[in-house]
């Protein structure tokens, strides 16, 4: 058992001694995705199976008098390859087993633990060559990435602070408190070029320096873990997989601005992240890494974990502050900015999870090392949640400047059709940045993804959601999906956002349901620009982005809806082509007799058909049909 206020080097040495007798280690992915697919049942079965063979197994790493052939089983956070979970890693062999079920455990133990042989069927199989890949170093999904923030997420035990310390954890915090002044820390972060990973891309060092120079006896640091974009789970995964990196980043930020108290604001829908952040704070307090007189200095830092109310708007700085203060999460006009007047009217820095987790790396490894990755104006890496019509979905991390095509086709493995099969010609668009972002299309496949390049094409990095869509996706419905989300999440404080998003949603419904006209599209664009310009906060200002970007790149698809009254993808039921269902049609000919434009033909006692070009969708046929065999008309 560790002792409070023990030196970091002593903790590392003690932990290293515990590792010596371990012959093999099995790491079971225990991120939310794998847990929901049964990974904890796999872990329990591994323990039972190994114990049944009278082998020495440790789940909690502590001093043991067993023989020097221990098997250590531990949990990790998200290992990234969500498509293939539950995942089990075997060390030191660097084997990765995917889609592991409890019934696979006896074979894993027998072959891999007892005989040092592979269980071939549980290895990843390349779609093109059918080659089996034994581990991370041979799976394209991993080899094409550059994992820094996520490097330890799928490896270390997130519930054991000693392992984080063993891999140089809290060394950067010690440097910040013992070697550098507050001004020097701010300068390092400014020189690094680190920009906020929460969406806006504001220079982190500038934000810190603006807060540092404020004259106040009380200052705060807030971690924004209120990740709410549909399909996004980057921050959740970091909090679940490497919570101490977030804490260490907050400690350094607190030292830089002169804060002695902080809040980690986590959305309530992330119970595992809340649990692990709370446990991490308690462990850090126990070791004296949080509290008073940190690292023997006069500075102290107290940290609270707070569950958010679940409102998307609370991701906005001023709304988040209101929520922490116990008020309804609603944005306030700026200025004053939080750096001047934030939490409880005191100077406050708010950074998102990924930004804070980047800080220890910069301080520990140096500014020049950080800037070697990425682009000059967007240094470092960015995590993305890759979802949608792509072969390999999951959590990825790439240097800024990586092209969209590299992510979709090399890391993601290619675009899939609605049956899940690869479709080389199937790419249609990617929605980047969630409800606040925009669409990228085929002409953007070679676009380097960084803050400036995306801004030039009317999109944004956002928090890092990437939703791939194939050519069977209706872009009008995609725009409606995101507009429905932002309309529901609008706090209602300003009229443009409250009423404008509601009216945009109604106009999109008109288009989808066949009531739209060309004037509808003109009005929609005009209204979207007004909402974007005059809304109070970032939610309203970016809410029209999906509408504007789809109108820009898929104008023909919108016009097909309003002029031809057809959905090119066949996804809009109200605009679906008229159809007589052959299995239901009895060939009675009643529908043909009632059709005023002679659009229906066929032979008695055989299924009739509708000529789509002649049909006026009057509904006379459907009304006459006694067998409900007709779809796609106004019955």
Domain-located, residue 154 = no
Would you state the structure tokens that stand for residue 65, as one six-digit string? Answer: 């008098």
Per DSSP, the three-state class of 190 is helix
Would you state the structure tokens that stand for residue 328, as one six-digit string? Answer: 């309804």
Same domain assignment for residues 468 and 480: no
Per DSSP, the three-state class of 601 is strand
**Burial track 221-258 (b if 16+ CB lie within 10 A, e otherwise):** bbbbbbbbbeebbbbbbbbbbbbbbbbbbbbbbbbbbb
Backbone angles phi, psi at 299, to 5 degrees: -85, 145
Partners of 579 in the β-ladder: 631
- What is the rounded CA–CA span in Å between residue 170 and residue 428? 45
- 518-534 and 555-562 are packed helices; what angle lies between their axes, rounded to 10 degrees? 130
Give the contacts of 128 (CB within 8 A, at least 6 positions apart).
none
Same domain assignment for residues 540 and 413: no
Same domain assignment for residues 251 and 365: yes
* Helix, strand, coil in percent for the chain, rounding step 5: 45, 15, 40
The tally of CA atoms less than 13 A away on the side-chain side of residue 233 is 24
- What is the rounded CA–CA span in Å between residue 343 and residue 337? 11
CATH of the domain at 410: 3.10.20.600
Same domain assignment for residues 220 and 294: yes
- What is the rounded CA–CA span in Å between residue 218 and residue 220? 7
Predicted pLDDT of residue 66: 62
CATH of the domain at 623: 3.30.70.20
Domain-located, residue 557 = yes
**Residue where a domain terminates, one of 424, 441, 473:** 473
Predicted pLDDT of residue 111: 94
Domain-located, residue 151 = no
Find the helix or strand (DSSP H, E) in which 163 lies.
helix 161-166
* Contact present, 209 and 190 (Cβ < 8 Å): yes
Edge to edge, what strands does the sheet with 438-440 contain?
A: 394-399, 381-388, 465-470, 427-432, 438-440
Same domain assignment for residues 28 and 72: yes
Same domain assignment for residues 92 and 134: yes
Domain-located, residue 156 = no
Q: Cis before residue 92, ω within 30 degrees of 0?
A: yes
Give the start-end residues of each E strand in 186-336.
220-225, 261-267, 302-308
Domain-located, residue 436 = yes
Same domain assignment for residues 490 and 362: no
Same domain assignment for residues 227 and 329: yes
For tokens 């991390």, what's the residue?
A: 397
Per DSSP, the three-state class of 429 is strand
3-state SS string for 334-383: CCCCCCCCCHHHCCEEEEEHHHHHHHHHHHHHCHHHHHCCECCCCECEEE
Same domain assignment for residues 557 and 581: no
- What is the rounded CA–CA span in Å between residue 194 and residue 185? 13
**Residue where a domain terminates, one of 473, 498, 527:** 473
- What is the rounded CA–CA span in Å between residue 72 and residue 212? 45
**Residue where a domain terminates, one of 562, 593, 619:** 562
CATH of the domain at 558: 1.20.1440.230
**How many residues can be counted in the chain?**
635
Predicted pLDDT of residue 64: 66
Same domain assignment for residues 193 and 331: yes
* Contact present, 323 and 314 (Cβ < 8 Å): yes
- What is the rounded CA–CA span in Å between residue 482 and residue 505? 9
Same domain assignment for residues 174 and 277: yes
Q: Is the pTM of this model over 0.85?
A: yes
Residue 364: left if φ>0, alpha if ψ -120 to 50, beta else—which one?
A: alpha
Q: Which of 317, 341, 211, 190 is nearest to 263 (CA)?
A: 317
Q: Which of 64, 252, 115 is nearest to 170 (CA)?
A: 252
Q: Cα 347 from chain centroid? A: 29
How many domains are there within the chain? 5
pLDDT average per 10 residues of sequence, the chain (635 residues): 66 89 93 93 94 84 70 93 93 94 96 93 87 90 93 92 95 96 97 90 95 96 88 90 97 97 94 96 96 94 90 83 90 90 96 96 96 94 94 94 95 90 91 85 94 87 88 94 88 86 94 94 95 85 90 95 90 85 93 94 93 86 92 70
Give the start-end residues of each E strand in 459-569.
465-470
Backbone angles phi, psi at 542, to 5 degrees: -105, -10
Domain-located, residue 10 = no
Domain-located, residue 2 = no
Domain-located, residue 152 = no
Cα angle 473, 524, 504; round to 5: 75
Per DSSP, the three-state class of 146 is coil
**Burial track 366-376 (b if 16+ CB lie within 10 A, e otherwise):** ebeebbeebbe
Per DSSP, the three-state class of 183 is helix
Report H helices in 391-494.
404-405, 451-456, 475-489
* Contact present, 336 and 348 (Cβ < 8 Å): no
Backbone angles phi, psi at 308, to 5 degrees: -80, 165
Same domain assignment for residues 279 and 320: yes
Which domain covers residue 492, as residue numbers? 476-562
Edge to edge, what strands does the sheet with 261-267 contain?
A: 302-308, 261-267, 220-225, 348-352
């Amino acid at each position: 058992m560790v002792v409070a206020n023990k030196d970091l080097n002593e903790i590392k040495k003690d932990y290293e001694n515990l590792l010596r007798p371990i012959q093999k280690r099995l790491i079971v992915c225990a991120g939310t995705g794998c847990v929901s697919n049964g990974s904890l049942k796999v872990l329990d079965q591994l323990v039972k199976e190994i114990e049944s063979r009278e082998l020495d197994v440790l789940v909690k790493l502590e001093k043991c008098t067993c023989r020097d052939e221990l098997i250590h089983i531990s949990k990790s956070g998200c290992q990234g390859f969500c498509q293939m979970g539950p995942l089990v890693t075997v060390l030191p062999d660097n084997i990765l087993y995917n889609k592991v079920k409890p019934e696979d455990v006896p074979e894993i133990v027998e072959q891999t633990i007892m005989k040092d042989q592979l269980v071939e069927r549980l290895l990843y199989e390349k779609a093109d060559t059918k080659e089996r890949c034994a581990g991370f170093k041979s799976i394209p999904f991993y080899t094409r990435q550059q994992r820094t923030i996520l490097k330890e997420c799928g490896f270390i035990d997130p519930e054991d602070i000693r392992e984080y310390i063993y891999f140089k954890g809290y060394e950067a915090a010690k440097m910040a408190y013992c070697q550098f002044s507050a001004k020097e820390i701010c300068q390092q972060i400014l020189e690094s070029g680190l920009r906020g990973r929460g969406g806006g891309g504001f220079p982190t060092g500038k934000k810190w320096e603006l807060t540092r120079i404020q004259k106040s006896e009380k200052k705060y640091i807030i971690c924004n873990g209120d990740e709410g974009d549909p399909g996004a789970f980057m921050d959740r995964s970091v909090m679940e997989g490497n919570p101490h990196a977030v804490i260490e980043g907050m400690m350094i930020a607190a030292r830089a601005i002169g804060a002695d108290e902080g809040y980690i604001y986590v959305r309530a829908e992330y119970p595992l992240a809340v649990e692990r952040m709370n446990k991490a704070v308690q462990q850090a307090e126990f070791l004296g890494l949080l509290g008073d007189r940190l690292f023997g200095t006069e500075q102290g830092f107290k940290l609270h974990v707070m569950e958010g109310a679940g409102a998307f708007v609370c991701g906005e700085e001023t709304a988040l502050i209101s929520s922490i203060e116990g008020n309804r999460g609603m944005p306030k006009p700026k200025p004053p900015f939080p750096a001047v007047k934030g939490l409880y009217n005191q100077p406050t820095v708010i950074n998102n999870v990924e930004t804070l987790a980047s800080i220890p790396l910069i301080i520990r490894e140096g500014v020049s090392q950080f800037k070697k990755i990425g682009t000059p104006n967007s240094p470092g890496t960015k995590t993305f949640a890759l979802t949608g019509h792509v072969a390999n979905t999951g959590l990825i991390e790439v240097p800024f400047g990586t092209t969209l095509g590299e992510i979709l086709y090399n890391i993601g493995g290619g675009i899939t059709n609605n049956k899940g099969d690869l479709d080389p010609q199937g790419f249609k668009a990617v929605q980047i940045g969630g409800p606040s972002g925009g669409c990228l299309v085929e002409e953007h496949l070679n676009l380097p993804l960084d803050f400036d390049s995306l801004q030039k094409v009317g999109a944004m990095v956002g928090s890092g959601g990437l939703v791939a869509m194939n050519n069977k996706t209706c872009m009008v419905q995609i725009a409606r999906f995101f507009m429905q989300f932002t309309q529901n999440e609008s706090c209602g404080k300003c009229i443009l956002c409250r009423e404008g998003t509601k009216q945009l949603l109604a106009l999109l419904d008109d288009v989808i349901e066949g009531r739209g006209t060309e004037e509808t599209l003109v009005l929609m664009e005009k209204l979207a620009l007004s909402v974007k310009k005059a809304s109070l906060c970032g939610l309203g200002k970016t809410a029209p982005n999906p509408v504007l970007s789809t109108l820009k790149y898929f104008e023909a698809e919108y016009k097909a809806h309003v002029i031809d009254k057809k959905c090119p993808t066949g996804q809009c039921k109200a605009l679906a082509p008229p159809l007589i269902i052959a299995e239901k049609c009895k060939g009675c000919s009643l529908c043909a007799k009632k059709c005023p434009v002679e659009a229906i033909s066929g032979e008695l006692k055989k299924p009739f058909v509708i000529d789509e070009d002649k049909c006026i969708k009057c509904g006379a046929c459907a009304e006459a049909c006694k067998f409900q065999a007709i779809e796609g008309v106004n019955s």
